[in-house]
Structure 1
Amino acid sequence: MVEMEVQGITLDPTTNMPIVILKSKEGAKILPIWIGIFEANSIATVLENVQTPRPMTYDLMVNLIDSLSAKVDSIKIHTLQDNTYYASVVIIDRNGTKIEIDSRPSDAINVALRTESPIYVSQQLLEIDNEEKIDEEDIKEWLESLKPEDFEKNIEF
């Protein structure tokens, strides 16, 4: 598994769907994952340090985990099947037992950001040689070429 961090969120200029960009902590591996608008809003809330007056859904999840004397160990994005990524949230319960819970990557990322837990991606996912997969250099060039006006339909809180 390769440790990744959230590089940011952008919008697909063709579909206007949010994309969370994960980048390896060491090296130049990038993994873009198309996600839903609500999940993107929640990620953006954490990235921008926006405080909400009441707990949102992911805050509630973290509060539930904490109240059970458990902690989030990590999240793992491990499988790609039919163009859908699969992830797990790894929780350590009060007895020290690790429990893996199936999750959508966007939900797992939201939990990881709120608990400051590491995000891991399977090495195999980063090496997938798929003709439809965007080339890393193309992503870098695209991210560097983005201008503020490209975000006119920006994600709002």
Structure 2
Amino acid sequence: MQRAWIKALVLDKTHNSPVVILGLEGSTKVVPIWIGACEANALAISLEGLDLPRPLTHDLIVNLLDALDARLEKIVIHSVKDNIYYATLVIKDLTYVESDDEEAMEENATIEIDARPSDSIVLAVKKGIPIYVSNEIAEYHAVELELPEEMSDEKFKKFVEDLDIEKFRQMLGGNSKEGENSKGDE
């Protein structure tokens, strides 16, 4: 597994679809994942650290986990099938009774739940937990993003705004047909 972080949240202007760009630790490769508009809004709100007067769906999930003494440890984006990414929420049950068998205790106290990457990423931002991608995704679905070594925040913002997402699609195998579901996790 490789650790990842959110490098950018951009709009694929060709398909009018949001794309979250994950950077890979120790690499210039990125993983673009097309997400839905609602999830992009939730992610943007989370990245900005905005507190809303009422909880949104992801806030509700965080509140439920806290109320149930469960801790979201990490998210893992582990596979791609038919151009759809799959992720797992790794949750620690803090109420699990300790035993002398530490390995069994660790295994039983950890819960893995299937989730969409977009929802998982929003939860990771809200809880400040690590995002991981499988080695398979890093090897076969990440693309090289060559940036000048010295790039200011302003220049990077301009670079992202001008980014041609269609080139990402072509690099990933040409999945750019209109109407084809190659949006990542929908």
TM-score by length of 2: 0.71
Tell me which residue corresponds to 1:116: 128
Equivalent pairs: percent with the same residue?
43
CA distance in 1, matches of 2:38, 2:84: 18
Cα deviation, 1:89-140, whole Å, max 9, x if unaligned, reads 0000021611000000001111111111100000111111xxxx68423899
> Any gaps of 5 or more consecutive residues in structure 2?
97-105, 149-155, 163-186
1:83 is matched by which residue type in structure 2?
A: N
SS of aligned partner of 1:51:
coil
Tell me which residue corresponds to 2:62: 62
Within the alignment, does 1:106 sit opposite 2:118 as a pair? yes
SS of aligned partner of 1:33:
strand
SS of aligned partner of 1:124:
helix
Tell me which residue corresponds to 1:38: 38
SS of aligned partner of 1:53:
coil
> Any gaps of 5 or more consecutive residues in structure 1?
148-157
Deviation at 1:42, TM superposition (A): 0.4
SS of aligned partner of 2:26:
coil
Deviation at 1:30, TM superposition (A): 0.5
CA distance in 1, matches of 2:143, 2:125: 26
SS of aligned partner of 2:145:
helix
SS of aligned partner of 2:16:
coil
SS of aligned partner of 1:50:
coil
User: How many residues end up aligned between the 2 structures?
Assistant: 143
Deviation at 1:87, TM superposition (A): 0.3
2:73 is matched by which residue type in structure 1?
A: D
SS of aligned partner of 1:110:
helix
Deviation at 1:7, TM superposition (A): 1.2
Work out which structure has the larger RCO, using CA pairs closer than 8 Å and 6 or more positions apart in sequence.
2
Tell me which residue corresponds to 1:153: none
TM-score by length of 1: 0.83
CA distance in 1, matches of 2:58, 2:142: 30
2:3 is matched by which residue type in structure 1?
A: E
CA RMSD of aligned residues (A): 2.3
Change (3 A) 1:104 1:21: same
Once superposed, which parts of structure 1, at least 4 consecutive aligned residues long, lie more than 2 Å away? 133-141
